[in-house]
Amino acid sequence: AGSSPAYGRHRTVDEVKQMLDTVVANEKEPDVVQISGGEPTIHPQFFEILDYAKSLPIKHLMLNTNGIKIAKDLEFAKRLASYAPDFEIYLQFDSFKKEVLESMRGANLTSIRTEALEHLNALNLSTTLVVTLQKGLNDDEMGAIIDFALQQKCVRGVTFQPTQIAGRLENFNS
């Protein structure tokens, strides 16, 4: 919830390894582990963390991302594809509307999502579109997002999650 750029620092690789080791110790062979953040792709040792996670007996590894790095860097996306199979992108995809994206994410990310999906489709890298729903803001787009997802080669699913009142959310009206 505290994912603001002013939050402070990245967790060290050793801290993340300890977190992953704890999950494995508790679950033996976890079905799914999601690398999340803030935005995990900006961690200076991001691929070292992924390498370590893939070395563990985790059945399915997911990357929760806003897609900016995937959109702007095809080589980065190709490197992500090297972690398949049993690796998936959990791509933030809240709306098609500029004003909704600006309200929810502080920027119109339409072109970023388009570019990210172009790269993910080209690589056929398993992707789930993740929609954070806010009543009266983007809940009218659910059908259109599902229709759009069905047209994407890489998309395997759509997840709808209601807004949680936590973290940086200000002036939220449920």
Q: What is the model's pTM?
A: 0.87
- Whole-number pLDDT of residue 10: 83
CA distance 147 to 173: 28
How far is it, in rounded angstroms, from Cα 162 to Cα 142? 12
In this prediction, residue 172 carries a pLDDT of 47
Amino acid of residue 160: F
According to the model, what pLDDT value does residue 1 have? 35
What is the per-residue pLDDT for 25?
96
SS in 3 state form for the chain?
CCCCCCCCCCCCHHHHHHHHHHHHHHHCCCCEEEECCCCHHHCCCHHHHHHHHHHCCCCEEEEEECCHHHHHCHHHHHHHHCCCCCEEEEEECCCCCHHHHHHHHCCCCHHHHHHHHHHHHHHCCCEEEEEEECCCCCHHHHHHHHHHHHCCCCEEEEEEEECCCCCCCCCCCC
Quote the pLDDT of residue 5: 53
Strand partners, 89: 63, 127
Closest CA to 21 of 53, 65, 45, 44: 53
CA distance readout (Å), 163 to 79, 107, 109? 31, 18, 18
**Mean pLDDT by 10-residue block, N- to C-terminus, for the chain (174 residues)?**
56 93 96 92 95 97 96 98 97 94 89 96 98 93 97 97 66 48
Q: What's the Cα-to-Cα distance from 169 to each of 3, 18, 134, rounded to whole Å?
A: 11, 29, 12
